[in-house]
Amino acid sequence: MSASAVIFYIISVAILVPALLAVTSKKIFRSAIWLLFSLTGIAGLYFWLQVEFVAAVQIVVYVGGIVVLIIFSIFLTQQSGKDLPAPARVRTIFAVLAACAGFILTCAVLTGYSGLATRAVIGSGTVGSVGNIGSQLLSTSEHGYVLPFEVISILLLAAMVGCIVIAIQHKPERQ
């Protein structure tokens, strides 16, 4: 086994273990912190793949934006220290079946298209400088990324609105 494979497996464990702890933790704040570690591990995977710009976007948008907003909304609610209710057994079974179906679908797609993304990135000639990445981000042409750029801003806006909705304390009605 090569050193590259060992590094990949270490990074994979650093992503998957916090992800599993995030969805199985009974404390909502701990789930948010485990999500933070999992998303940071994904940024580490991007750094290992030498896609530094995407790793920086991962850190800024998801770790720096979404997770921090989630943590703030947890602190602003009145029930931040309580245990989460246990999910119904039907939801658990459905989640396991959906995860297995997604895994099988991903394996089927990857076996049919191995190497396609690598050839597309290397053959396009656009990978390289930050200037090329910036011009593609703001381009409205066929290979431009202005739409995903705007979707990210809408995602951040939705997270902020969600945090505000969670943080609003409803006054009890007087009788």
Q: How buried is residue 56: exposed, middle or buried, by Cβ count under 10 Å (0-12/13-18/19+)?
A: middle
Residue span of the structural domain in which 35 resides: 3-86+125-167
Whether 104 is in a domain gets the answer: no
Residue 107 domain-assigned (yes or no): no
Q: Flag whether 12 is in a domain.
A: yes
Sign of the Cα pseudo-torsion (128, 131, 137, 139, in order): negative
Residue 77 domain flag: yes
Buried b (16+ CB within 10 A) or exposed e, 118-139: eeeeeeeeeeeeeeebeebeee
What is the CATH number for 7? 1.20.120.1200
Pairwise CA distance, residues 79 & 141, whole Å: 48
User: Which of 9-18, 83-92, 126-135 has the least mean pLDDT?
Assistant: 126-135
- Separation in Å, CA 46 to CA 6, 39, 59, 83, 172: 16, 11, 10, 34, 48
Q: Is 118 part of any domain? A: no
The model's pLDDT over 137-168, given as tens digits with 9 standing for 90+, comes to: 777 777 677 777 777 778 878 877 877 776 66
| Helix, strand, or coil (residue 126) | coil
Ramachandran assignment for 50, one of left (phi > 0), alpha (psi -120 to 50 degrees), beta (any other): left
DSSP state of 27: B
Residue 155 lies in a domain: yes
Please indicate, yes or no, if residue 106 is contained in any of the structural domains: no
Q: Is residue 110 part of a domain?
A: no
Neighbours of 151 (CB within 10 A): 11
Q: Which two tokens stand for residue 119?
A: 């050839």
pLDDT at res. 18: 93
Q: Apex CA 22: angle with CA 16 and CA 23, to 5°? A: 95
Global confidence as pTM:
0.60
d(CA 38, CA 44): 10
Count of structural domains, the chain: 1
26-63 pLDDT, tens digit each: 787 888 889 899 999 999 999 998 888 888 888 888 88
Which position has the higher pLDDT, 127 or 42? Answer: 42
